Amino acid sequence: MTKPMALSAQKAQPVHPVAPKKYVFLLLEEYSLLSFTCAVEALRMANGYEGKTFFEWRVLSETGNTVSASNGLSTGVDGEIEKLSRQDTLIVVGGDNIASRSTPKIMSWLRREARSGVTVGALGTGSYTLAMAGLLIDRPVTTHWEYHNTFVEVFPGMDLRETLFAIDTDRPTCAGGAASIDMMLHLIERDFGRDLANYVSDLMVYTSPRTEQHSQRISLQARSGARHTKFAEAIEIMARNIEDPLSPADVAMMVNLSGRQLERLFKKHLNTTPKTYYTGLRLQKARELLFQTNMSLSEICFASGFNSQTHFSKSYRARFGVSPSNDSCRG
């Protein structure tokens, strides 16, 4: 009589533990707590899947001291910037006043680690720091939409995307905020598979993860309820032509409308005129450059499509209630 097979022999073979992927987060002063939390929580939640440890991480600052987030909360870290392993993935977490927070010491460290083969990425305005360090040349990159105009002016020729995240082989970047979740889910899936990424997404109650192609902002059409294709095209043409602005008549001609038809569309959907809307776009760019760069007022004036500083200052004051030279952000 054949003996029954022992139960122990019927058990599945044990699964070998995965080698944890190691992340290092560099927090800059005034960093975005939202961006950082979204990223690190995705890693933490992944470690609950099937009892395995998929990720390990450390948090560093330039000096090893506590760092203040942009909302004023203080965050302790594990240490100061140090020599990393080639197996580490270094993520720079940016926030407000990024240019001044990207110190020479930090940029030298980033260059050194990148040369040694460390993957170096960024959340939000941390991309600005990587660009300052010269680490994004000929790489697809994205950053928070508020910094797009500044990025284009300060780093001309960069392959800047308006998407939620941009994944290059060893330079992952994202817009920050909730986009940090989307990028981390993408990286989790790339390294450990879709099941793990779906598990994390469910735990975060993040039921519709977005792809690399998603835009950062609600479209003007969705915002205003407009569904007129030529109106949307006119808006896009204006946004692409800030430094050398077109006349409203030229914009109308480019979308095969009469000037009167374009006026009616802007009145209907935005309750303004094409000229007023276009000027507002240019002034918003000027204010972003004023906040985010050390460009002179004359440089900002011309970068925003104004030929006269007098006209620029008058328009700026009418829009924001203060002259550009006296704006508080300039101090």
What is d(CA 121, CA 136) in angstroms, rounded to the nearest whole number?
10
The pLDDT score that the predictor gives to residue 76 is 96
In percent, the amount of the chain with pLDDT more than 90 equals: 69
Distance CA 135, CA 118 (A): 12
- Please give the residue that has the higher pLDDT: either 115 or 6: 115
Mind listing the pLDDT tens digit for each residue in 69-116? 999 999 999 999 999 999 999 999 999 999 999 999 999 999 999 999
Instruction: Identify the top-confidence range among 2-16, 110-124, 309-323.
Output: 110-124
Position 17 confidence tier, pLDDT thresholds 50, 70, 90: low
Look up residue 98 and give its two tokens: 């990024």
The model's pLDDT over 123-181, given as tens digits with 9 standing for 90+, comes to 999 999 999 999 999 999 999 988 988 898 999 989 999 899 999 889 999 999 999 99
Q: Read off the amino acid at residue 76.
A: G
- What global pTM score does this model have? 0.76
DSSP letter for each residue of 132-143: HTT--TTSEE--
First to last CA, the chain: 93
Q: 295: which residues sit within 8 A by CB, 6+ positions away?
A: 153, 289, 303
The pLDDT of residue 224 is: 52
Q: ∠ CA(135), CA(139), CA(143), 5° rounding?
A: 80
CA distances from 326 to 149, 222, 322 (A): 21, 36, 6
The pLDDT of residue 4 is 41
> Confidence band (pLDDT; 50, 70, 90) for 221?
low
Contact between 163 and 214 (Cβ < 8 Å): yes
- Nearest-angstrom CA–CA distance, 31 and 276: 35
